[in-house]
Amino acid sequence: MILGIGSDLVDVRRIERALERHGERFLTRIFTATERATADRRAKRYETYAKRFAAKEACAKALGTGLRAGVFWRDMGVVNLASGRPTMRLTGGALMRLQ
């Protein structure tokens, strides 16, 4: 069953500026520990964060709630399968909305 479809684009420079301005506060508010560890291992750190940010926004749109109704940024986390393919792991309010 498809609950909804979401799509999003983000300018990498926007994420870079947010990181420079808000640092760790921005990271811990938006990204899961797994996402932060993945991005911090990559050479293109800002691009990695930007891709995950856009995926989270698209997921929130697909859930039909956006970032409200108990759905928070860290309820959605991009994780890579063993093959390297990214997938979305939902917890908390995002998972409850999906069910």
Task: Indicate which CATH number applies to the domain containing 21.
Answer: 3.90.470.20
Tell me the mean pLDDT in the region 53-71: 87
What tokens were used for 20?
A: 């420079």
CA distance 44 to 39: 8
Inside any domain, residue 45: yes
CA–CA–CA angle 28, 33, 39 (5° rounding)? 90
Does residue 5 register a pLDDT over 80?
A: no
Q: Is 4 a domain residue?
A: no
Domain-located, residue 89: yes
Is residue 29 a part of any domain in this protein? yes
Query: Looking at residues 36-65, what average pLDDT do you find?
Result: 93
pLDDT surpassing 60 at residue 1 = no
Which amino acid, one-letter code, is at 37? A
> Residue 7: inside a domain, yes or no?
no
Alpha carbon dihedral 24, 29, 35, 41, in 10-degree steps, equals: -10
Task: Decide if 81 is inside a domain.
Answer: yes
Residue-wise pLDDT for 77-88, tens only, equals: 999 999 999 999
Pick 9 or 94 by higher pLDDT.
Answer: 94
The single-letter DSSP state of residue 34 is H
- Domain extent, residue 23, equals 12-98
Split into its structural domains, the chain has a count of: 1
Q: With 80 as the cut, is the pLDDT of residue 45 above it?
A: yes
The CA distance from 42 to 70, in Å, is 31
